[in-house]
Amino acid sequence: MSNAEIQPDFSKGDGLVPVVVQQVDSGDVLMMAYMNREAYEETLATGQAVYFSRSRGELWRKGETSGHVQQVKQVLLDCDRDTLLLVVDQVGGAACHVGYKSCFYREITSDGAKVVGERVFDPDEVYK
């Protein structure tokens, strides 16, 4: 397989690949989302993260409502070509729709879940 043919394999996941999103400077894992081929190509073309919303069944231009876009710094493909890692700079500092830096703001402990993440904004203020 030549270098130019190394592309995500959208056939395994019904046209979607999972995408892990990591903040460039801190290394924090911000979120996980999905892309179809159209979202992937628009992301590469524009340098801003575009996903496919499984719940809405349409392209999701991250930050379109909140202004909290993700500027793409690096796109990495895994060994099986069925998962992407997007290294981004998250504008506004929060990737999560409930206002945390990262969607992974709760730790599972033997006593239950504990909030460990940092809240950056109040969603009621951002999504009016």
- Give contact residues for its own copies (rule: CB under 8 A): 2-7, 18, 20, 22, 26-29, 31-32, 44, 74-80, 83, 85, 96-98, 100, 103-108, 111-114, 116
Nearer to its own copies, 50 or 103 (CB): 103
**CA neighbours closer than 13 Å in the CB half-sphere of residue 46:** 15
d(CA 49, CA 62): 6
Q: How far is the CB of 36 from its own copies (least distance, A)?
A: 16
* DSSP code for 48: B
Nearer to its own copies, 69 or 96 (CB): 96
- Name residues whose C-beta falls within 8 Å of residue 82's C-beta, 6 or more positions apart in sequence: 8, 9, 12, 13, 17, 18
Q: How far is the CB of 128 from its own copies (least distance, A)?
A: 20
Nearer to its own copies, 113 or 122 (CB): 113
Nearer to its own copies, 17 or 69 (CB): 17
Q: How far is the CB of 21 from its own copies (least distance, A)?
A: 9
Q: How far is the CB of 67 from its own copies (least distance, A)?
A: 19
Provide the token pair at 50.
């575009």
